[in-house]
Amino acid sequence: MHKIIKIILIALSVLGLILWVMLAKEAEVTVGNGAMNFMFIITFILLAISVFASLFFGLKNVFATPEGLKRTLIGVGGLLLIAIISYVAASGTDVDLVAMNKKGLEATEGTVKMIGASLNMFFILTIVAIGAMVVPGIKKMFNK
């Protein structure tokens, strides 16, 4: 199946290249251009194929071994824990809702709390990512 997907992707890529060359030869590019529309269709087809292949082979590798499934569940559980901590830490009262509604921006306390939780989650995950890069380097320096 992997070889079939590769062949299809190569064929669609070549077709996309041909359409791109055809599009570049035209002096005026319009929204209703047939070559342009066909290129977008090919782009969406390639995106769908790559997403399907990534999910299929990724899930296949996860369920191939019990250890892989365990690591995946630990990762998903950790992400859910961070999401819950982020949501609890967000207050939802950081913004003057009356002033926002006067400006035409419909905002509720729940919306502000979700935005705050998203920002908290981003900051926590950024700190975790930086730690994951820095800690092994520091350990390596002291082990030498």
Please state the domain extents for the chain: 1-64, 66-144
CB 112 within 8 A of CB 92: yes
Residue 131: pLDDT above 60? yes
* Rg, C-alpha atoms of the chain: 24
**Between residues 54 and 105, which one has the greater pLDDT?**
54
Output the pLDDT for position 74. 94
86 exposed, middle or buried (CB, 10 Å; 0-12, 13-18, 19+)? buried
Output the pLDDT for position 27. 47
Give the chain's mean pLDDT.
Answer: 84
For the stretch 71-94, pLDDT in tens is 989 999 999 999 999 999 998 777
Amino acid at 105: L
Helix (H/G/I), strand (E/B), else coil: 4:
helix
Mean pLDDT of 65-76: 90
Residue 120: band (very low, low, confident or very high) from pLDDT cuts 50, 70, 90: very high
For the stretch 6-51, pLDDT in tens is 888 888 888 877 876 776 666 455 556 676 777 778 878 888 888 8
